[in-house]
């Protein structure tokens, strides 16, 4: 008698998404992010691409998939900027990897975990971007403003919580 058994928490809560959702949601995030700052310049502080990266990474619970998803979304994000392609790609790949690794260990469906996780990942993202721009690309005028990074992390965390609940409906349960 063949029985289906789960051997780990990863197998228990691993989610997948339809290809349409996996393509359209990151694309919609990038398009919205490019459109919103034009009428509302202050909304340039939002990073919808990173929110989507974190969500897919923690939902799939596969570090390799998380890194690949982050890299793909980051590269698309870079293609719209004047920065060298790969800056956001590298940062998002690392974030995706870490997020998926955390998703294996802790319950990422609770509100508190999501808030802390998003806040922390946005701070890490700011630090990674500083490292890439200042150290790797050698931009001497690039500074890390911690106050700004904290505000950015807080605002994006507030936005990430409802987006996570919205995207929960797109999970394909098997």
Partner 1 sequence: MESFFTRFKNVLVLVAILLAQTIGLAIQVRRPVESGAPDGEKVLLLRYWMVSMVTPFERLVHGAGWTVRHGWSNYIDLRHTRQENQDLQAQIARLRVEQAAFAEDAMQGRRLQSLLAFKENYVDKTVAAQVIGSSGSELSRVIYIDKGSLDGLKTDQAVITPDGIVGKLRDVFPHTSQVLLISDQTSGAGVLLATTRVRAILRGSTTGRILINNLTPDQRIKPGEQVLTSGGDQVYPRGLPVGTIESVAPDPDHQPYTLIRLRPAVNLDQLAEVLVITGTQTELPPLAQKDLAQGAATAEAKAAAAKELADQQAAEAAANSAAQIVAERLPSLPEAERADGKAAAAPSVDSVTPSTAVPKPELTIHPDRYSPGATLPAAELKPGAAEPNRAGVVPVPSTDAAPPGQTVAPPKPRRPKPAPATASPSNPPPQ
Footprint on this chain of partner 1 (rule: CB under 8 A): 27, 30-31, 33-39, 41, 44-45, 49, 62-64, 67-68, 71, 75-77, 79-90, 93-94, 97, 101, 129, 132-133, 136-139, 141-143, 145, 152
Smallest separation (angstroms) from partner 1 to the CB of 67: 5
Report whether 163 contacts 55 (CB < 8 A): yes
Residue 85 or 111 with smaller CB distance to partner 1: 85
Task: With H, G, I as helix, E, B as strand and everything else as coil, classify residue 140.
Answer: coil
Report whether 143 contacts 152 (CB < 8 A): no
Smallest separation (angstroms) from partner 1 to the CB of 69: 11
Residue 67 or 163 with smaller CB distance to partner 1: 67
Smallest separation (angstroms) from partner 1 to the CB of 50: 11
Smallest separation (angstroms) from partner 1 to the CB of 108: 17
Residue 93 or 163 with smaller CB distance to partner 1: 93
Phi, psi of 167 (to 5 degrees): -75, -15
Spatial separation of the C-alpha atoms in residues 101 and 113, rounded to whole Å = 14
Half-sphere exposure of 19 toward its Cβ, with a 13 Å CA cutoff? 0
Smallest separation (angstroms) from partner 1 to the CB of 112: 26
SS (H, E, C) 126-161: HHHHHHHHHHHCCCCCCCCCHHHHHHHHHHHHHHHH
Spatial separation of the C-alpha atoms in residues 111 and 127, rounded to whole Å = 25
Task: With H, G, I as helix, E, B as strand and everything else as coil, classify residue 8.
Answer: coil
Residue 37 or 110 with smaller CB distance to partner 1: 37
Residue 114 or 152 with smaller CB distance to partner 1: 152
């Amino acid at each position: 008698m063949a029985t289906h058994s789960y051997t780990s928490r990863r197998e228990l809560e691993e989610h997948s998404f339809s290809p349409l959702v996996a393509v359209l949601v990151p694309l919609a995030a990038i398009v919205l992010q490019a459109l919103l700052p034009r009428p509302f310049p202050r909304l340039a502080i939002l990073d919808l691409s990173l929110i989507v990266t974190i969500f897919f990474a923690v939902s799939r619970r596969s570090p390799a998939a998380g890194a690949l998803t982050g890299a793909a979304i980051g590269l698309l994000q870079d293609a719209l900027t004047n920065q060298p392609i790969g800056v956001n790609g590298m940062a998002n790949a690392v974030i995706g990897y870490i997020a998926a690794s955390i998703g294996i260990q802790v319950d990422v469906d609770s509100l508190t975990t999501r808030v802390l996780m998003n806040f922390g990942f946005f701070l890490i993202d700011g630090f990674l971007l500083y490292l890439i721009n200042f150290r790797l690309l050698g931009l001497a005028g690039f500074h890390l403003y911690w106050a700004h990074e904290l505000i950015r992390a807080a605002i994006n965390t507030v936005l990430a919580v409802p987006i996570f609940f919205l995207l929960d409906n797109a999970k394909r349960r098997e």
